[in-house]
Amino acid sequence: MSEQDSHTGPIKTPKQLIWTVVASFIIPIITIILLVNYVAFGDKPAAGSDGMTEQAIAKRIQPLGMVEIRDASDVASLKTGVQVYEAVCGACHTSGAAGAPKLGDAAAWGPRVATGYEALLTSALKGKGAMGAQGGGDYSDYEIARAVVHMANQGGGKFAEPKPPAPAASAAN
């Protein structure tokens, strides 16, 4: 084998050179076109999808919270003691968490009932121990008082239901 044969490449004729040059431009261009088509026309939701229905739009733009305006003098709109207990107080008073007396446990409620309704109400409104003010809820003093009476009476107390707040004086002159 001569020295000249070892330095020659795989392209021996001008025809092979032309095919190699053409292929080196056409193959990358075809590859790019196929990749663009794959990305641009891949599986996407069709125009007839349910993304633009009224329900789908309403779900996307629904409010995160709500504002409830209540009339404090409307007794019917106020929560009962049971409703407040179930919403806020029951989290600790059902299981006895953080030393809270369990609902209906006369032995645990006895000393507390003996302190009187006002002392129990003050503890519920201002907080005591691990319990935050109003048990961490957002209720009126009257609603908290109803919950206190409910829990104390379940534990052996004989407290009467608190009187509803007096209607606010109207400012109409």
Alpha carbon distance 27, 11 (integer Å): 18
* pLDDT confidence tier of residue 93, bands split at 50, 70 and 90: confident
Q: Which two tokens stand for residue 97?
A: 């968490």
- pLDDT attached to residue 41: 79
Tell me the whole-structure pTM to 2 decimals: 0.53
Give percent of the chain above pLDDT 70.
82
Alpha carbon distance 139, 87 (integer Å): 10
162, 73, 164: which is closest to 118 by C-alpha? 162
Q: What mean pLDDT is reported for the chain? A: 79
Q: Which two tokens stand for residue 16?
A: 């092979």
- For 97-142, write each residue's pLDDT tens digit: 878 888 888 888 888 888 888 888 888 888 887 787 777 677 888 8
* pLDDT confidence tier of residue 5, bands split at 50, 70 and 90: low
Query: Does residue 172 have a pLDDT over 60?
Result: no
Contacts with 159 (C-beta within 8 Å, 6 or more apart), sequence order: 117, 148, 149, 152, 153
8 A C-beta contact, residue 124 and residue 135? yes
- For 26-75, write each residue's pLDDT tens digit: 999 999 999 998 888 766 666 667 777 888 888 888 887 777 776 666 66
